[in-house]
Amino acid sequence: MAATTTVIVPHLGGITAGYKLSAHKYDTTKPTCVLINSMCTTVSLFADQFSDVKLTDALNLLAIEPLGHGATTCPIEQFTYWDSATVALQVMDALGIEKAFAMGSSQGGWIIVRMALIAPERILGLMPLGTSMDCESADSRSKNAWDPSPMLTPFYDKWCSFIPDFVVDDVWCGMVVNLGFSGLLPREKVDFWYSTMKSVYKGDDGRKKLKVALACLLERDGILLRLREIQCPVYWLQGDKDIPYGIALAAEQIELFKASRKAKLDIVKGGSHFLNATHPTEVSEALLKLVNSDEHTV
């Protein structure tokens, strides 16, 4: 399901942002970690993190649905990942959160890095999961990354026209689930994600929302040259069963965080693309290590 709590932030004329906050309130005595979900998922992607008492005892968890996702809505049709990064920072503003760590899965990974580029003084540390900092480039494809355009552009073309009683179809839902979770989900969770996508992406507003979310994925800008500007610690986790991006890109790109106080990559054995959902224990342990390290206090 999508987020059930929202807040209006000023970006792009007033965006309604869907979010979930652990304990339903901000505890000023604990650090905060912002969580940004993967393509076509919602705050529910972080269900295991919200149910992890060790995490919620140590941290405020703030999951925010980016533009094109969940309960987040925008008064204009067009947006980019930079806009989603700005929205996340403005949700922090609205909730009175000055600084935070940030963890993001897939597209969430490149959104959290954009957050740190926009507001470096506010992001204490980054945890990208199952992601890449490049655009969908020929160079990436030469290193075993996927080529999404031939597979996904026909969906975009179809969604550019009005479709009566639109509901995203099973083909799209199955592709998201298979690419994201690598066949590691039980049937009831597969059914949950099908139902969630069909509830978010329905009607003409849902069609437009999904269309532009896909355009963002296909046409996004790479940020490889900007990674040298990141100074906070970066703890990147990549599954060795990540279908879209594999592990070679992560191994290469972690070295580009040249100004980071500490940049580390861990490869998670058996890990899928949506890593925090299939390997929550490994992700939670790594997040606590990042938060409890002293590099971010420098």
Q: Which two tokens stand for residue 130?
A: 């199952």
Question: Is the pLDDT confidence value at 295 over 70?
Answer: no
Distance CA(85)–CA(3), nearest Å, equals 18
Supply the pLDDT for residue 296.
63
Per residue in 229-287, pLDDT tens? 999 999 999 999 999 999 999 999 999 999 999 999 999 999 999 999 999 999 999 99
Q: Tell me the CATH number at 102.
A: 3.40.50.1820
Q: Which two tokens stand for residue 283?
A: 């992700």
Per residue in 93-134, pLDDT tens? 999 999 999 999 999 999 999 999 999 999 999 999 999 999
Supply the pLDDT for residue 294.
72
Q: Which domain holds residue 151?
A: 5-297
pTM beyond 0.95: yes
Distance CA(125)–CA(51), nearest Å, equals 22
The radius of gyration computed from the CA coordinates of the chain, to the nearest angstrom, equals 18
Distance CA(204)–CA(276), nearest Å, equals 31
Burial of 275 (0-12, 13-18, 19+ CB in 10 A): buried
Distance CA(16)–CA(70), nearest Å, equals 11
Distance CA(120)–CA(25), nearest Å, equals 25
Total number of domains constituting the chain: 1
Per residue in 141-178, pLDDT tens? 999 999 999 999 999 999 999 999 999 999 999 999 99
